[in-house]
Amino acid sequence: MSSKSVKLRRLLSLPILSVFVLVGFIYYITIFVFLEDWLGLHSSSGSLNTLIFSVLASFTLFSFLVCATTDPGRVPSGYVPDIEHSDASDQESKKNDVQLRRCDKCSAFKPPRAHHCRVCKRCVLRMDHHCLWINNCVGHQNYKAYVILVLYATVTNIYSSVIIVCSAILKDWAFNGSSSIKIFYICSAIMTMGFSFTLGTLLGWHIYLITRNKTTIEYYESVRAEWLARKSGQNYHHPFDVGFYKNITLILGPNMLKWLFPTAVSHLKDGIQFPTVRDSL
């Protein structure tokens, strides 16, 4: 099956179509109902807000498409770990480490940070999680697009919430304040504020992960590793945490001007090897 047909099948899933419908609905009510009622679309301030909100919504949809259609990263066929450059201290531990990085489901070796996805039925490089709403795994090649998507979606929903609230505050409810309109305003505000809070929380979570250079899977693995280290009187340090700013540039890129562009991923390597704390010693 060609890559184009795979992308098309992925986009025609019910969750993705639901996202398109939801984004279209929020865009329509924000611009053509609440902004029109608040400022009017033909006023200078109304036109400016329409332009800003349209740009944000477009960036959100573009990031969504990039995230959904980009392969998160495949383990190269015939991949074999490099035992000679293993971090283990002796030959026995090297053998054990290699054994641990073998996927029983794929019957093949897998690189560091790669994990098997039960939905995609394959191993994914630097896998973070499988996302239902993009019908795709979030991994090495599309993690930046995913974070940028969450960022744009959060800002867009906050902007929509502000427009709805401002429209409600300045509306002449004595003249046109039927109960059905009030319910519509309240439900719309609850919906956009709910999305703002949910997406904002998710954004904060992934900002935390980026600054620690962890995936969601690695976070939960590190919780157990830290507990075991404390139990044996030792300290645990995530091996891929190479410093606050370096961690950020490994995901978003070294050029800050390109951080907000989901397709600016030329800085990404092969996803097989990653810099570690030991590399800087």
Q: If DSSP states are collapsed to H, E and C, what string results for 178-232?
A: CHHHHHHHHHHHHHHHHHHHHHHHHHHHHHHHHHHCCCHHHHHHHHHHHHHHHHC
Mean pLDDT for 130-152 is 97
The pTM of the full predicted model, rounded to 2 decimals, is 0.90
Residues 179-216 have pLDDT tens digits of 889 999 999 999 999 999 999 999 999 999 999 999 99
Query: Does the pLDDT of residue 34 top 60, yes or no?
Result: yes
Output the pLDDT for position 99. Answer: 44
pLDDT at 107 over 50: yes
Catalytic, out of 117, 123, 131, 137: 131
Average pLDDT of the residues in 133-139: 96
Q: What is the pLDDT of residue 175?
A: 73
Query: Does the active-site annotation cover 120?
Result: no
260 — pLDDT class (breaks 50, 70, 90) = very high
C-alpha 213/C-alpha 190 separation (Å) is 34
Q: Give the mean model confidence (pLDDT) for residues 117-146.
A: 96
